[in-house]
Chains A and B, each alone.
Chain A
Amino acid sequence: MAASRKSRAAGPPAPSTTLVLDNGANTIKAGFVTGDKTDGPRIIPNCLARDRHRKTYVGSELEKCRDFGEIALRRPVEKGFVVSWEAQKEIWDREFFDDKAPQRCDPSETRLVLTEQPNALPALQTHCDQMVFEEFGFASYFRGVGPAFNAYQDIQAIFHTPRTPDTPVDVPAEVILVIDSGYSHTTVTPMVQGRPLHQAIRRLDVGGRLMTNYLTRLLSVRHFDMRNETFIANEMRESVCYVSLDFKGDLEKTWKGTRGERRDDYLSGAGIARDYVLPDSHTTFHGVVRDYEPGVSARARKAAVSTEDILTLRNERFVVPELLFNPSDIGLRQPGLADLVMQSLSVLPIGLWPGLLANIVVVGGNAKLDNFIQRLQMELLERVPDECVVRVARPEDPIISTWVGAANFARHEHVERLAVTKQEYEEHGAGWVTRKFAAGLPVEP
């Protein structure tokens, strides 16, 4: 004890290496920051998987899997929060701490910057802190709200704001509203000077998982039973779904018509229909999207190339992401994304609205959906006062955006003020750590 106190008084040097972890429900984004050097994140599936030959894959071993049919997944993260530490520890061990781990590091000489979803349950936060220090033994640690890290980026570059080259880059960004639409849920986080305005954070329980399950259900009703093929359905959703800018019109185009009638749009596909070739697990391992060939009936195609299983996707393509904007379509009584933003703004002073609305950044996997930002911008313009400029943008790669922000944060001087060392944890306990993380940076002036 005495020794540790003495060493603390001397001020142990901050570890030079930082492991930046964005521990998502679907994938982990992980990479190291050493000094000024940042190596890009590795994207690791955050799951244990077992295929139908009873072989188990952990984390990145899933790349070796060749047969995703009937694969069963166990995810340590539920609703965005690490719940099953037994599974999470196994994945982290294999990725970071084992001798042959692909991203090996020694926790006792490493700082950990970990993201968490906003509004976590206190018990889960405590579990997380205890695991980090007592089990893995990181030298220094910071756990922060995931969307908030996005402020530590050159936000105006994302918007392509015209500016002179000598304009200083604000890091963290002054005013920004981050929409994080991930696998578990979608959150709206307004921020001022990199600090989240906690009273205004709102969550919509629609995320990738719900959409995949919905797609699975639709396909199971219309084509064949896909309920055990969650993994394939998830790939399918990522590759074919798009957000409709004219929902009514698109729905009209994909309707077959009344009894006996076959509308022209339906027969020709109207640019919406796509053929999805399912993987056969022998020669192909991932599905392929093809343009719909009108005029050839499904049966004829089947006869011609009998080895392929083809699904023709029509309104499934845009009905599924529509849940983000109209959750009530499946009876979920929550506001759509645009209303969610308005609800979040409604608790803030109106003076902040123009700044927030002009700097909306969408991150997370769902931001990759085609037309997502256009639709959001369109719906927001309908709801805000005329004078407000609404700008919605997504970073180049929305999936790793939070990680990039967190990596910048790891080099920023803020991290020194926020991180907690192992000695401090041992001295003050878990409660103190939780309080320190919850308080965040003091507001200076």
Chain B
Amino acid sequence: MNNFGVIEVASTATKNTPGWAYVPDTGPALSAALQPANRKRVARKQTTLSFSDLSAREETRIRKDLEALDRDSHKDANIAIPPRPGGSRVQNKHTPNVRKILQSQKTFANHLDDYQAMLALAESNPGAAAAMNAAVAKPSTPTTAASKSASPAPTAASAGGSKRSAAAAKRAAAKEKQEQEKEKKKARRTPKAEPEPEAEPQLQQQQSQDDQTDIEMPDAAAPTEPMPTSAPEPNPQPSTYPRESLILPAYAKPPPQTHPGDADPLLVSHVPPFPSDDELRALMTAPPLSYLEARAEWGDEEGRYPVRVFCAVCGYWGRVKCMKCGTRVCALECLEAHREECVSRYGL
């Protein structure tokens, strides 16, 4: 089922005007009737469990706020290139590639969407994608280096030309779609990272086992002494530290003086085993992640704590909410200041 090549794109358009709908009034208690039946909406709800007091409207507001903060300037500056004072440099002819690049009006967001569309295409329809652009054959290797070598035309041309329509559609694609893709990619990343360096899973397993078997490691004498750059070195068990490691050679100096307390079982410190050369080499030669994969996401840790809220007027803790619009303020004085301009507009 490839859906005849049609890729479903969720709309990200947000309306400033209110739409309306009949909603069952079930009182303050959130009943099952209010639970969305749509699978996507359920998913969206779940991700925001920690924001217990965030309604969809507030979510939208936060999203818009963030977008505004991310822009370069308040107003879009459209500054044309000023004429050269001397006009000294002779205008030589540009090559076709250069002309295309110079005339491109694409923003970073456009490029990112193009890239995502390319990845999505490669994922949903590998055959077509491969035919279109051999570069994107594998989404798991985001560096399209391999692809570019195969196609004589630089990717810029193919990305700009043939995929422009797809990109334009994608540009409008909803944030949730991005989110989903990101999650998918994340899921893909975890299994992918392992098999690439061949021996790594086993090595890591070994390592974790090693971790559990307590390694006797008399502490390097003075804890105040700065660590050698590579590994905490001197130890009587060279077996855990591949002294023969070529990538990170062992600490060459004589180890610091032993201390009588070194043997004390209470003071023995636990030093993790050092990765082997193969492991290091695999890490050092691994291909770069894509732009989206490298973006840090909330782990399980961060979502667990409530988000701090601040007074919208003075910046102190937001201890009370405006009853009209839900904005947080600190105390009565700020609440009054806020009320003067509190407008509970739709879609705000």
Q: Complex Cα distance A238/B315, Å?
A: 20
Could you say which residues of chain A place their CB within 8 Å of the CB of B191?
none
Could you say which residues of chain B place their CB within 8 Å of the CB of A192?
247-248, 280, 283-284
> Are B101 and A85 neighbours in the complex by a CB distance under 8 Å?
yes
> Are B107 and A83 neighbours in the complex by a CB distance under 8 Å?
yes
Chain B, residue nearest A186 (CB): B296
Partner of A201, one of B146, B271, B289: B289
Q: Complex Cα distance A258/B142, Å?
A: 55
Beyond A83-B108, A316-B315, whether A197 also contacts B226 by CB under 8 A is no
> Are B302 and A331 neighbours in the complex by a CB distance under 8 Å?
no
Answer yes or no: B94 CB below 8 A from chain A CBs: yes
> Are B310 and A72 neighbours in the complex by a CB distance under 8 Å?
no
> Are A118 and B288 neighbours in the complex by a CB distance under 8 Å?
yes
> Are B111 and A123 neighbours in the complex by a CB distance under 8 Å?
yes
B-contact bits for A388-423, CB 8 A (1 contact / 0 none): 010100000000000000000000000000000000
> Are A72 and B77 neighbours in the complex by a CB distance under 8 Å?
yes
Among B71, B314, B330, the most chain A Cβ lie within 10 Å of the Cβ of B314
Q: Complex Cα distance A423/B112, Å?
A: 31
Per DSSP, chain B at the interface is loop
Q: Complex Cα distance A119/B86, Å?
A: 39
> Are A72 and B82 neighbours in the complex by a CB distance under 8 Å?
no
Could you say which residues of chain B place their CB within 8 Å of the CB of A159?
226
Q: Complex Cα distance A11/B58, Å?
A: 64
> Are A198 and B287 neighbours in the complex by a CB distance under 8 Å?
yes
Minimum C-beta distance from A437 to chain B (A)? 9
Could you say which residues of chain B place their CB within 8 Å of the CB of A440?
285
Answer yes or no: B272 CB below 8 A from chain A CBs: yes
> Are A122 and B284 neighbours in the complex by a CB distance under 8 Å?
no
Answer yes or no: B259 CB below 8 A from chain A CBs: no
Partner of A87, one of B62, B81, B95: B81
Answer yes or no: A255 CB below 8 A from chain B CBs: yes
Q: Complex Cα distance A205/B291, Å?
A: 11
Answer yes or no: B297 CB below 8 A from chain A CBs: yes
Q: Complex Cα distance A195/B282, Å?
A: 12
> Are B290 and A354 neighbours in the complex by a CB distance under 8 Å?
no
Partner of A72, one of B79, B104, B285: B79
Among B68, B97, B147, B290, the most chain A Cβ lie within 10 Å of the Cβ of B97
Minimum C-beta distance from B290 to chain A (A)? 6
Could you say which residues of chain A place their CB within 8 Å of the CB of B310?
319, 329
Could you say which residues of chain B place their CB within 8 Å of the CB of A351?
207, 231, 272-275
> Are B211 and A350 neighbours in the complex by a CB distance under 8 Å?
yes
Answer yes or no: A69 CB below 8 A from chain B CBs: no
How many of chain A's residues have a CB under 8 angstroms from any CB in B?
122
> Are B144 and A334 neighbours in the complex by a CB distance under 8 Å?
no
> Are B271 and A222 neighbours in the complex by a CB distance under 8 Å?
no
Could you say which residues of chain B place their CB within 8 Å of the CB of A316?
315
Could you say which residues of chain B place their CB within 8 Å of the CB of A389?
226-227
> Are B248 and A174 neighbours in the complex by a CB distance under 8 Å?
yes
Beyond A78-B107, A78-B108, A123-B114, whether A98 also contacts B89 by CB under 8 A is yes
Answer yes or no: B293 CB below 8 A from chain A CBs: yes
Partner of A130, one of B154, B227, B288, B301: B154
> Are B281 and A443 neighbours in the complex by a CB distance under 8 Å?
yes
Answer yes or no: A63 CB below 8 A from chain B CBs: no
Answer yes or no: B88 CB below 8 A from chain A CBs: yes
> Are A86 and B81 neighbours in the complex by a CB distance under 8 Å?
yes
By size class, the interface of chain B is 35 or more
Q: Complex Cα distance A205/B226, Å?
A: 33
Q: Complex Cα distance A79/B294, Å?
A: 14
Answer yes or no: A135 CB below 8 A from chain B CBs: yes
Per DSSP, chain A at the interface is mixed
Answer yes or no: A218 CB below 8 A from chain B CBs: yes
Among B73, B89, B98, B159, the most chain A Cβ lie within 10 Å of the Cβ of B73
Q: Complex Cα distance A385/B211, Å?
A: 13
Q: Which of A205-227 contact B (CB under 8 A)?
A: 205, 209-210, 213-214, 216-218, 221-222, 227
> Are B115 and A331 neighbours in the complex by a CB distance under 8 Å?
no
Q: Complex Cα distance A387/B78, Å?
A: 55
> Are B101 and A130 neighbours in the complex by a CB distance under 8 Å?
yes
Q: Which of A180-211 contact B (CB under 8 A)?
A: 187, 192-193, 195, 197-205, 209-210
Q: Complex Cα distance A172/B283, Å?
A: 17
> Are B286 and A198 neighbours in the complex by a CB distance under 8 Å?
yes
Q: Which of B172-231 contact A (CB under 8 A)?
A: 193, 204, 207, 211, 226-227, 229-231
Minimum C-beta distance from A227 to chain B (A)? 4
Q: Complex Cα distance A353/B284, Å?
A: 15
Could you say which residues of chain A place their CB within 8 Å of the CB of B298?
333-335
Q: Complex Cα distance A431/B330, Å?
A: 57
Partner of A209, one of B65, B72, B232: B72
Answer yes or no: A162 CB below 8 A from chain B CBs: yes
> Are A349 and B275 neighbours in the complex by a CB distance under 8 Å?
yes
> Are A121 and B229 neighbours in the complex by a CB distance under 8 Å?
no
B-contact bits for A50-90, CB 8 A (1 contact / 0 none): 10000010100000000000001111001101010111011
Q: Complex Cα distance A114/B98, Å?
A: 18
Minimum C-beta distance from A47 to chain B (A)? 9
Could you say which residues of chain A place their CB within 8 Å of the CB of B71?
213
Minimum C-beta distance from A84 to chain B (A)? 8
> Are A205 and B299 neighbours in the complex by a CB distance under 8 Å?
no
Answer yes or no: B307 CB below 8 A from chain A CBs: yes
B-contact bits for A243-284, CB 8 A (1 contact / 0 none): 000000001001111111000000000000000000000000
> Are B66 and A358 neighbours in the complex by a CB distance under 8 Å?
no
Minimum C-beta distance from A24 to chain B (A)? 14
Could you say which residues of chain A place their CB within 8 Å of the CB of B62?
330-331
Among A58, A159, A199, A227, the most chain B Cβ lie within 10 Å of the Cβ of A199
> Are B229 and A359 neighbours in the complex by a CB distance under 8 Å?
yes
Answer yes or no: A170 CB below 8 A from chain B CBs: yes
Answer yes or no: A120 CB below 8 A from chain B CBs: yes
List 14 A–B pairs whose Cβ atoms lie within 8 Å, in order of A's numbering: A83-B107, A94-B84, A97-B89, A122-B142, A126-B148, A156-B229, A193-B248, A203-B294, A319-B310, A333-B297, A339-B299, A339-B302, A349-B204, A350-B272
9 residue pairs, one from A and one from B, having the closest CB atoms: A431-B148, A445-B246, A435-B145, A331-B62, A72-B77, A78-B108, A350-B272, A431-B149, A119-B294
> Given A72-B77, A335-B301, 14 other A-B contacts at CB below 8 A?
A56-B80, A121-B111, A130-B97, A130-B156, A197-B286, A213-B71, A222-B315, A228-B75, A255-B314, A258-B332, A315-B316, A334-B295, A335-B302, A351-B273
